[in-house]
């Protein structure tokens, strides 16, 4: 798990400000989705998020989870990763930059940071007279477990 740039309380404070800014009512479900993703430290599907929330609130619907995830992504609280055929997976956005290795068989996602790759990307952009603003690297693999 990568270093977090922000505490859960700080993220929830920003969420409450964003909700007010957008003229919405405060929602415990929004906060709970953020908390579930923050505590997991990994990449979760909407179904996994809903399942986790249902342990406390049986009335949580999958459609509400999808709607809230869309809002949270739009407001940059979470990021989505199109990992494989199983659909999008989400993670908290308040983390240090990292890239992903994704197994095409089991869907396992490994986060990694490689300073040489980071430097090379900046150099490639510079060689094209451009300034690198951001990037999103995904390596699709068959993991060791699935190879056996």
pLDDT tens-digit series, residues 111-129: 898 999 989 999 999 999 9
- Residue 59 to residues 8, 22, 73, Cα–Cα distance (Å): 24, 25, 23
Per DSSP, the residues of 43-66 read -B-HHHHHHHHHTT-TT--HHHHH
Q: Which residues contact 93 (CB under 8 A, 6 or more apart)?
A: 76, 77, 78, 79
Q: How far apart are CA 62 and CA 68, in angstroms?
A: 10
CB atoms within 10 A of CB 39: 11
At residue 1, the pLDDT reads 43
Query: Which is it for strands 87-92 and 78-84: parallel, antiparallel or unpaired?
Result: antiparallel
At residue 133, the pLDDT reads 83
At residue 98, the pLDDT reads 86
Taken in order 112, 82, 103, 32, the sign of the CA dihedral is positive
Q: What is the pTM of this model?
A: 0.76
Q: How many helices (H) and strands (E) would you count in the chain?
A: 6, 5
Name residues of the chain where pLDDT drops below 50. 1-2
């Amino acid at each position: 798990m990568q270093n977090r740039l922000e505490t859960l309380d700080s993220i929830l404070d920003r969420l409450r400000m964003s909700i007010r800014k957008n003229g919405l009512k405060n929602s415990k479900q929004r906060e709970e989705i953020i908390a579930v993703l923050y505590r997991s430290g990994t990449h979760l599907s909407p179904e996994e998020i809903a399942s986790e929330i249902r342990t406390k609130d049986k009335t949580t619907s999958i459609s509400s989870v999808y709607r809230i995830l869309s809002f949270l992504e739009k407001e940059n609280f979470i990021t989505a990763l199109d990992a494989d055929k199983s659909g999008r997976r989400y993670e908290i956005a308040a983390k240090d930059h990292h890239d992903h290795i994704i197994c095409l068989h089991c869907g396992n996602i490994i986060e990694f940071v490689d300073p040489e790759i980071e430097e090379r990307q900046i150099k490639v952009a510079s060689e094209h007279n451009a300034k690198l603003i951001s990037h999103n690297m995904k390596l699709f693999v068959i993991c060791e477990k699935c190879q056996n």
